[in-house]
Every structure is written in structure tokens, then in C-alpha cells.
Amino acid sequence: MRIVILTGAGISAESGMGTFRDKGGLWENADLMKLATPEGFAEDPAAVHAFYNMRRAKVRSCQPNAAHVALAALQMDPRVEVTLVTQNVDDLHERAGSRDVIHMHGTHLVALCAACGDRWPAPEVMSVETRCVCGGMARPDVVWFGEVPYHMDRIGAALQRADLFVAIGTSGVVYPAAGFVRAAQEFGADTLELNLEPSERATDFARSCFGPATEVVPGWVNEVLT
């Protein structure tokens, strides 16, 4: 069975990372347009660096949870072929043992030269003084609003071949990820939503299971493997 899994902030919520759009979420207290757009970075790069420095420190203090661990175990099973796509810019999937994670929104653990496009491991603290060897200013390697997500060809190809598409812990508000469920369905895949509560896209899914990721994800993985 070929499974494409899309994860969002909800899978890391119980690790302590918080989410973006829930009550008390990141975008309730921080200005998305200032912190997560190329225009915001051009206007005030120091503020954007400060925000991602805080997020980078936060993820270093968090551990993968039972949901990340269950998905890593699923990936290891020879009976299934799993493509794991995440919108998350943290490395909790990798730290749980997952390999070949497709970070469609990039990762704040990598620095990207805004001038030449070179990449290198992000230092713990980035600032306007953080420069590429070419002299260009460094930015976090995350995909901001108005930018094109990474690896879309690879994701599209996986969706075409999928028997099952599963979305975990994502509100279904941000495109193109929010459109994956319909695309997978059009290609003939079964679709399943695992989320704390029905998302914006809930009615697009054939099946759903609601509850905290640390419960519903291991439960679903167990079903698949037994």
C-alpha cells in the first residue's frame, strides 16, 4: 500500500511547539505579514531573525512525541511505502527516526543566502550580520507566504500513485497543501483526516478520526500494521 502523509503543526503541539491558528496560536500574538513574508524580512530582517531564533531555541528544547514515533515505525515497515510530507519547519520527524522527510515549507534549521541561494546549517542565533561566503544576507530557509513551496513535483507524483492520503494536525487553510486531499481523491486514493477537531477541509475526506495526535496517530498506525 502506498501512503502519502501530510503533517502540520498539530502533530508537534503535544511536544510543546504550539500551533499557528488555534486559540493562543502563534499567529494570534505575532504578525504573520511582518514575520512570514519576504516583504516583512526586507523591511525588518532583525525582527524576523529574532522570531526564528526563538522558534529554533524552542524546537531544541522539545522532544518528538508518540505520533512522530509511530509514523517513523510505519515508514520502516516493508509492507507499506510511505511518503512523509510536512509543513513543519522543525526536525521532530527526523529526531523520531523518520528518513527522507519532505519539508515543503523548508526548515528553520538551515540558513539560505538571500542573494545566491546557497544553504548551510543555521547557527543557533542568526542576525543581519549572518552572511554567506558571497557576502549576501542570510535568511532562514523557510517558505514564506507569497513564496512557492518546495518539492511540489515530487509531492504531486506521490499523490498520483497513492492508495491512501492522510492529513495529520493541519487546519487545511494554507494552500497548496490544503488542496492535496482533493488531488489525491481525484487520482483515486482513499483519504483520512487525523486531527484534534474537524479542519477546514474536513468534508473533503472520506474518513476521519478526531483526538490528540499522540493518541489517534499511534492508533491508526497500529490498525494499518495489524
Closer CB to ligand APR, 13 or 101, in the complex: 13
CA distance 3 to 162: 6
Q: At closest approach, how far in Å is the CB of 34 from ligand APR?
A: 13
Contact set with ligand APR (CB under 6 A): 8-10, 13-14, 19-22, 25, 87, 105, 169-171, 173-174, 195-197, 199, 212-213
Residue tagged active-site, from 68, 105, 108, 151: 105
CB closer to ligand APR out of 132 and 167: 167
Q: What one-character DSSP code corresponds to residue 62?
A: -
What is the rounded distance in angstroms from the CA atom of residue 125 to the CA atom of residue 81? 37
Nearest C-alpha neighbor of 119 from the set 129, 134, 105: 134
- The least distance separating ligand APR from the CB of residue 51, rounded to whole angstroms, comes to 12
Annotated active-site residue 108? The verdict is: no
| Cβ nearer to ligand APR, comparing 59 with 132 | 59
Other C-beta atoms within 10 Å of 182: how many? 15
| Burial state string for 203-216 with b = 16 or more CB within 10 A and e = fewer than 16 | ebbeebeeebbbeb
Q: Point out the residue whose Cβ comes nearest to ligand APR.
A: 10
Helix intervals (H) in 31-179: 32-35, 38-43, 45-60, 66-76, 92-95, 152-161
Q: Using an 8 Å Cβ cutoff, are 22 and 212 in contact? A: no
At CA 131, angle to CA 99 and CA 103, rounded to 5?
Answer: 20
d(CA 136, CA 113) in angstroms, rounded, equals 6
Nearer to ligand APR, 125 or 173 (CB): 173
Measured from the CB of residue 221, what is the shortest distance to ligand APR in angstroms? 14
* Cβ nearer to ligand APR, comparing 37 with 81: 37
Q: Are 163 and 192 in contact (CB under 8 A)?
A: no
Question: In angstroms, what is the minimal distance from the CB of 197 to ligand APR?
Answer: 5
Residue 85 C-beta: closest distance to ligand APR, Å: 11
Catalytic amino acids?
105
